[in-house]
Structure 1
Amino acid sequence: MHAATSHLPRALPQFLPSARDGLQRFGLLHQPGAGRAVRGRVLFVHAFAEEMNKARRMAALQAQALARAGFWVLQIDLLGCGDSDGDFGDASWAAWQDDVRIGAEQLRHCGSSPLWLWGMRAGALLAAEVASQLPEPAHCLFWQPASSGKQLLQQFLRLKTASGLISGQGKGAMAEVQAQLDAGASVEVAGYQLPAALAKGLEKSRLTPPALAEASPPRHLLWFELSTQAEASFSPVAQQAHEAWRAAGWQLEAAMLQGPQFWQTTEIEEAPALLAATLAAMERHAG
């Protein structure tokens, strides 16, 4: 299904310093395929905690496909994640926003083709918040975006309280965890040391469309979700979000595709329909 490794465009490691903490962020920059006209620059903003690890293969496959089609693609590991400096317990939502800006700034060295912020799950929340803070207009590509950081955080915290609930000793466990975070303490969840600064920032995050200037050129949002069901439709929450982005002036293209929820499956899985639909849409909007 995929091109042989020897035919893939080169991917160059990037070590990007942060003025906030002096630590380096690791990135992987995929160059456009040889002989291809540059069609855009894409910054991938990964998912949260273990979802990031589960989604790495899909992100790599999509980055390679986009590069073959003529896009620059930068995959950046946020502070405390992947191969970047620091520990997860060092992270904050503000630092992660800075990291997205660092990645976008790095892509400015790759020319002036259209910029896309490609967010996966919590990465979509970060992309939406940072899009209005950049010195150039950015389009957005969302994979299974979280509707709110609060909902995602609650799902993550349930991993800590689940064992207690099953054993009958978990009454008030979620309230206790929340009290620790409110007091500024870190909480260990499924092997991750979750700092209060990250939890609070995530909790306040919403998938709110950035306001566009009246004379702003068209801004595109590609929104893809997966369902294991053949005839699934978007949730009412997602539909409301679609309307909000359209009302804010964004040109939305949304599709519900059939495939595994690879960011949370036990085994590493692929969703070919998502790869194909994303590439086709990106090529279409790149002209």
Structure 2
Amino acid sequence: MSLLGRAMLPQAFFLPTGSGQRFCLFHPAPGDFVRGCVLYLHPFAEELNCTRRVAAQQARALAQAGYGVLQIDLLGCGDSAGRFADATWEAWLQDARLARHWLREHASGPLWLWGMRAGALLATALAKDLSEPCHLLLWQPVVSGQQQLQQFLRLHTASQWLGADRASGQAPSQMLNNGQPADIAGYTLSPALARGLAAARLEPPPCPPGQLVWLELSVQAEPALSPASEKQLAVWRDAGWAVSAQALTGPLFWQTVGTDNAPALVQATLDALAKTPAQAAPP
């Protein structure tokens, strides 16, 4: 029987936390074909909505290939409890810890932390907490939270240029620096979340080095990794990680809400993870 024929239906549930419930979707691997488990950590703010379609396609493909995949909506995001205005970086990291604990209780094999954009920062932060080895799958990773924050703040400027927000007063960056929340592109960003995000860095965790799969998309016909990415990857290689990095041609689907597909990205992910041999999960 084909892997597709053995695929199991995803299981939706709410994960209890100390600050409300988090919506989760678990894609179980076929019971007789388990290669590992994957925790997906989504990108920041509206990028979550933009990337849902491709992330779901990848989660299903990974499950069919033998991986148990857990997707979680973090505090104040998607269908989870709380408001985005209440979110902090530490609260999101705690959500990731709880999700990883649940996944380890319900799936076996090597652990992969899969982060998209700012989710890559959260994945590496989580890896620093772990006592077990893990692998990292990073899609279009943001190398610093400060970079992500600045991009988000620029949305306010763009909305003013387009006439969507003609309100006068302090700029969002000034409000945040003064300890006030700022409304940007339909999201209320708290000073606490801004500080936590700005302090995040994409750095090799101290846990035993594993596999790092780094995948980027470009609209160019002959894409190549950026010099900034190559510099970052050198740091990971020096830290002992087995790095597999690739630039692919495909839509920049995290930038617009639509019906984009990224089949090259999905297949490259499957190919990269297939190169890592399955092993027993830690007791």
TM-score (norm 2): 0.91
Distance 1:46 1:266 in 2: 15
Counterpart residue number, 2:11: 12
Residue 211 (str. 1) matches residue 210 (str. 2)? no
Distance 1:111 1:10 in 2: 15
Q: Which runs of 4+ in 1 moved over 4 A?
A: none
More displaced, 89-98 or 129-138? 129-138
Amino acid at match of 1:278: T
Check the 8 A contact 2:134/2:210 in 1, yes or no.
yes
- Using the TM superposition, give the Cα deviation of residue 136 of structure 1 relative to its aligned residue in structure 2, in angstroms: 2.0
Distance 2:14 2:258 in 1: 30
Aligned residues: 274
- Using the TM superposition, give the Cα deviation of residue 161 of structure 1 relative to its aligned residue in structure 2, in angstroms: 1.6
Distance 2:104 2:257 in 1: 37
Query: Which of the numbers 66, 70, 93 marks the counterpart of 2:66?
Result: 70
Counterpart residue number, 1:197: 192
Residue 143 (str. 1) matches residue 139 (str. 2)? yes
Cα RMSD after superposing both structures: 2.1
Query: Which of the numbers 95, 101, 104 marks the counterpart of 2:100?
Result: 104
Amino acid at match of 2:62: L
- Using the TM superposition, give the Cα deviation of residue 73 of structure 1 relative to its aligned residue in structure 2, in angstroms: 0.2
Distance 1:40 1:286 in 2: 9
- Using the TM superposition, give the Cα deviation of residue 111 of structure 1 relative to its aligned residue in structure 2, in angstroms: 4.2
- Using the TM superposition, give the Cα deviation of residue 195 of structure 1 relative to its aligned residue in structure 2, in angstroms: 1.1
Pairing 1:1-287 to 2, within 5 Å after superposition: 8-19=7-18, 21=19, 23-33=20-30, 36-165=32-161, 176-212=171-207, 216=208, 219-287=210-278
Q: Percent identity?
A: 50
Q: Please list every run of 5 or more consecutive structure 2 residues that lacks an aligned counterpart in the other structure.
A: 279-283
Amino acid at match of 2:26: L
- Using the TM superposition, give the Cα deviation of residue 246 of structure 1 relative to its aligned residue in structure 2, in angstroms: 0.7
Distance 2:63 2:152 in 1: 33
Distance 2:243 2:23 in 1: 31
SS at match of 2:80: coil
Distance 2:51 2:257 in 1: 12
- Using the TM superposition, give the Cα deviation of residue 253 of structure 1 relative to its aligned residue in structure 2, in angstroms: 0.2
Check the 8 A contact 1:36/1:69 in 2, yes or no.
no
Check the 8 A contact 2:15/2:22 in 1, yes or no.
yes
Q: Please list every run of 5 or more consecutive structure 1 residues that lacks an aligned counterpart in the other structure.
A: none
Check the 8 A contact 2:172/2:184 in 1, yes or no.
no
- Using the TM superposition, give the Cα deviation of residue 211 of structure 1 relative to its aligned residue in structure 2, in angstroms: 2.0
Distance 2:56 2:277 in 1: 20
Check the 8 A contact 1:41/1:110 in 2, yes or no.
no
Check the 8 A contact 1:119/1:126 in 2, yes or no.
yes
